[in-house]
Structure 1
Amino acid sequence: MDLNTITEVIRRPSERPGMDWHEGDAWLAGGTWLYSTEQPDLRRLIDLTALHWEPLVPTGEGLEISATCTIRDLYAFPWPEGWTAGTLFRKSCEAFLSSFKVWNAATVGGNICMSLPAGPMVTLTVALEAQYELWAPDGSVRFVDALDFVTGDHRNVLAPGEILRRITIPEHALRKRTADRRFTLTRLGRSTVFLVGTQRRGASDLLLTLTAGTTRPVRIAFDSLPDARTLRQSIDAIPADVWFADPNGTPDHRRHLTRHFAEEICRELTAGDPS
């Protein structure tokens, strides 16, 4: 779509692009959503791809993912041996309601900052206990737990002019066992619910992440795998206004699916090799 209110595109921003932020600006990375709908309040685009941030950087502490890393690059990344949670990255990429052409442009950071209930990069990073690095226009930096970033449907904690710079996933989370379940109304449709369970190797704990069925991510921690009654009670304790409603499912439908798939995840992790 043509954005006919745009008067300037900053092709070579400074290394700290937020310092030049003005009202009416928008960050441009993949642009797959930005160009998909009218943006009457925008006057200027700031192209972040020109900064050439390294997409994926393994470190001694885990994995750093730049906000401008494309879904294609994330999907193709060769996971180090021992990072058993690497399979979840591909599954999350495949959860996009998009073609391979969108994968070539859409970015991890863009999907997170859209903060939609069905955003699969939100699911992935919350499930793997990621931390987001945010840059403010005044030059300050703050770090936010992925779980706390999205506050509702298309809402998050970003202040005006603030930018998501990178996502850091700790190594201990990358070495966890994972089990996931996703439901869609059609084979390639938007997620109605997307659940991920993670567990430390050699342990019986469970970290259960619920997304798509809720307006914001929900994470429930258990010291040991819960029985069906305890699991159901924990899910039923989620406030009613947190469950999401749209054409893909009612809150009651999503709650029912969440209970069912959460039990399946527990059974899968129980049956798996804990070594």
Structure 2
Amino acid sequence: MDLTTVTSYRHARERGDLRLVPGEAVVAGGTWVFSTPQPSTTGLVDLTTLGWPAWETPGSGLPDGLPEGLPEGVALRVAATCTVTQVQDAPWSSEVASLVRSCAEAFLMSFKIQRLATVGGNLCLALPAGAMISLFAALGAEVVVWTPDGDERRESVESFVRGPGRTSLAPGEVVRALDVPDHGAARFAFRRTSLAALGRSASVVVGRLDRDVVRLVVTAATPRPLVLSVGPDDDPAALLGAVDHWYDDPHGAPDWRAAVTATLAAQVCAELRAEAVG
């Protein structure tokens, strides 16, 4: 789509280039920016020219001007400018790699969109069915945000996403990366459903088994990511019964979403517990 209000386009080469003037917005893959009118945007600042590696591991060599090393406990840093295709090529364990593919496919992006759409863009768009929101919330990742004063702050994915199209980003803040902790040999389970076989996800449920507790992450069915800890004696359907706000749009009514999510959650918990016993 032609953005008729945009009159300037800058390539960011260093952090100082991210100081935006009124009317400017950052862009990476641009799959959403160029798909809909942006009447309040008069200029774009390209993040992809900053040269961030798609992903980094502890001790990996970084380009000049980027800080060495990763915080303690971080197994993988995924850049905000990493594309959905690139994130599937990161050095995940086989268990996590399967989850990454499932989440990427859940959003029904074509291979062309996956080659352009970025992790940071998907996160900042904050759609309930955001594929990368599902993934990184399930992985317990932290969002690394660059602040205008030259510092950075960190918060969980489920805290960062506040609702449909809303995040915790303040004016002048830019998402730098997502830091993923080491999950060792953790087991994951994935379920999704929609009103049509190839329809937008109406409910996505991801579970991770941590000892005898299942960390359950629900997206698409709720306005923002929902994270529950399901103990060995807990009924996931009962825990979900306390949720009073289910998403309502043409892809599913709230009462239906609540019902199918309870079914998916029970399946996820049963699968993980069966594997643990086996």
Which whole-Å deviations, capped at 9, do the CAs of 1:61-80 have from their partners, x for residues lacking one? 31100000001111233434
Counterpart position of 2:2: 2
Whole-angstrom distance in 2 between the partners of 1:40 and 1:208: 39
Please state how far the C-alpha of 1:160 moved relative to its aligned partner: 1.3
8 Å contact 1:6–1:43 — kept in the other structure? yes
Counterpart position of 1:76: 89
Pair 1:175 & 2:185 matched: yes
What letter corresponds to residue 264 of structure 1 in structure 2? Answer: Q
Per mean C-alpha deviation after superposition, the further-off stretch among 70-79 and 105-114 is 70-79
1:149 aligned to which of 143, 160, 171: 160
1:161 aligned to which of 152, 172, 196: 172
Q: Helix, strand or coil: the match of 1:76?
A: coil
After superposition, the Cα gap between the structure-2 partners of 1:167 and 1:260, relative to the gap in structure 1 and judged at 3 Å, is: same
Whole-angstrom distance in 2 between the partners of 1:274 and 1:3: 56
| TM-score w.r.t. length of structure 2 | 0.90
Please state how far the C-alpha of 1:104 moved relative to its aligned partner: 1.0
8 Å contact 2:75–2:180 — kept in the other structure? yes
8 Å contact 1:205–1:225 — kept in the other structure? no
Count residues with an aligned counterpart.
264
What letter corresponds to residue 272 of structure 1 in structure 2? Answer: E
Whole-angstrom distance in 2 between the partners of 1:138 and 1:8: 24
Pair 1:219 & 2:224 matched: no
Which whole-Å deviations, capped at 9, do the CAs of 1:238-270 have from their partners, x for residues lacking one? 12xx31000010110000001111111111112
Could you say what the CA RMSD is over the residues aligned between the two structures, in angstroms?
A: 1.6
Whole-angstrom distance in 2 between the partners of 1:133 and 1:69: 14
8 Å contact 1:206–1:225 — kept in the other structure? no
Whole-angstrom distance in 2 between the partners of 1:270 and 1:97: 29
Pair 1:39 & 2:38 matched: yes
Pair 1:190 & 2:193 matched: no
Per mean C-alpha deviation after superposition, the further-off stretch among 110-119 and 134-143 is 134-143
Counterpart position of 1:136: 147
Please state how far the C-alpha of 1:204 moved relative to its aligned partner: 1.9
8 Å contact 2:237–2:263 — kept in the other structure? no
Whole-angstrom distance in 1 between the partners of 2:198 and 2:57: 31
After superposition, the Cα gap between the structure-2 partners of 1:73 and 1:274, relative to the gap in structure 1 and judged at 3 Å, is: farther
8 Å contact 2:28–2:121 — kept in the other structure? yes
1:233 aligned to which of 229, 238, 243: 238
Whole-angstrom distance in 1 between the partners of 2:16 and 2:123: 20
Whole-angstrom distance in 2 between the partners of 1:14 and 1:141: 15
Whole-angstrom distance in 1 between the partners of 2:91 and 2:243: 37
Unaligned runs of 5+ in 2: 59-72
What letter corresponds to residue 193 of structure 2 in structure 1? Answer: F
8 Å contact 2:230–2:236 — kept in the other structure? no
Whole-angstrom distance in 2 between the partners of 1:78 and 1:274: 28
Please state how far the C-alpha of 1:85 moved relative to its aligned partner: 2.3
Q: Helix, strand or coil: the match of 1:92?
A: helix
What letter corresponds to residue 15 of structure 1 in structure 2? Answer: R
8 Å contact 2:88–2:97 — kept in the other structure? no
Whole-angstrom distance in 2 between the partners of 1:143 and 1:208: 22
Counterpart position of 1:55: 54
